[in-house]
Amino acid sequence: MGNLKIQTNKTIENWTSFTLINDNDVKISLLDFGGIITEIIVPDKNGNMENIVLGYHNHEKYKSNPNFFGAIIGRVAGRIQNSSFTHNGESFFLEANEGKHHLHGGNNGFHKAIWEAEPFQTIDQVGVKLTHTSPDGEGGYPGNIQANVTYTLTNDNQLIIDYDATTDKTTALTMTNHSYFNLNGNVSDTIHHHHISMNSQQFIELNHDLIPTGNVVSVDGTPFDFRQGRMLEDGIHSNYEQNKLVGNGYDHYFIFDQDPNVLVTESNSGRTLTIQTNQPGMVMYTSNSIVDDLDQDGIQSEKYLGVCFETQASPASLHFDRMPTVVLGENQVYKKQTVFTFGIV
């Protein structure tokens, strides 16, 4: 046992900031507001401890947070076409907060809630359990939702995010975390040279509104084939139509194969990030349309400063078959886990 501990501080609006520290001096800081991860400090190959996620030094900016930096996203992560869906013959109309479409639970989604926080510590891990109740009809969604999100930092340099929820009416629910990773550390470079490997044979095609068309596309022969590994710059510089229409890069849902491990490496820093989950897929977003308000480490906002790995089901399932469903029945328990393991090559 060494440095394993939790630090708490009050910040603006009486929000509470929690910093989880393990025996290796890895630090993860988060807010009870939006469950927002504000910093992840991990070593590079030379032992330099640096932050590998985007965020705001000035916490006031999290009040608007148009990029959703580090936040818990819900009820439904992603875009819902025309801000509506029908289930069992009943139509539900949601808040339109991105043109005519619904994005990331609406303007007052889980990313804007103050979660009830309960820190905990054991012999080899520290964490915070966050709890939030979303009432029937909030944002247009049916059902009272009782949601829990637990962040756990282990001495194996793992961040474990556990999601569980129940509803008293059949509803739509798929939560994720919207952290933007940059393994260079302290935003010292873009993500062009991040190397990604993942087991996914198919992705969901988008239209010019970034709404799924209903087509599930094979990755064969495209910049979306990461089965043998490739650099993110392959898609950023690609002339492939699906890369171009999202602003040159990726903002797509990948459907996982049986073994959903994702491996991210950055050779200059030597940092690695492994992602394991029981979610059926993941949106990978290369910050192609990042809003110009970053105030981190003296860096000006620009595209490609971070990459999101939004493990989740697909909101396209509300309109199309063959997609991993976001429907949660009143007798079902939503129970998902994503594990981020930080390492060095």
Q: How long is the chain?
A: 345
User: Which one of the listed residues 101, 178, 194, 252 is annotated catalytic?
Assistant: 178
Report the domain count for the chain: 1
Confirm if 51 and 39 have CB atoms less than 8 A apart: yes
Max CA separation in the chain (angstroms): 59
- Tell me, what amino acid is at 95? E
Can you read off the two tokens belonging to residue 64?
């608007």
Which range among 6-20, 77-91, 120-134, 291-305 shows the weakest confidence by mean pLDDT? 291-305
Q: Which pLDDT tens digit goes with each residue over 266-314?
A: 999 999 999 999 999 999 999 998 866 666 666 666 899 999 999 999 9
Rounded to 5 degrees, φ, ψ at 162 are: -105, 130
The conformational region for residue 293 under phi > 0 = left, psi -120 to 50 = alpha, else beta, is alpha
pLDDT of residue 302: 80
Query: Is the confidence at residue 1, as pLDDT, over 70?
Result: no
Question: Which candidate, 148, 135, 143, 126, places its Cα nearest to that of 35?
Answer: 148
The stretch 88-96 carries a mean pLDDT of 95
Rounded to the nearest integer, the mean pLDDT of the chain is: 95
Domain range for 109: 5-344
pLDDT of residue 297: 60
Confirm if 267 and 195 have CB atoms less than 8 A apart: yes
Q: Which pLDDT tens digit goes with each residue over 30-84?
A: 999 999 999 999 999 999 999 999 999 999 999 999 999 999 999 999 999 999 9
Q: What is the pTM of this model?
A: 0.97
pLDDT greater at residue 330 or residue 2 = 330
Domain of residue 87, CATH code: 2.70.98.10
Catalytic residue flag (residue 237):
no
Catalytic residue flag (residue 310):
yes
pLDDT of residue 299: 63
Mapped onto helix, strand or coil, the DSSP state of residue 242 is helix
The stretch 86-107 carries a mean pLDDT of 96
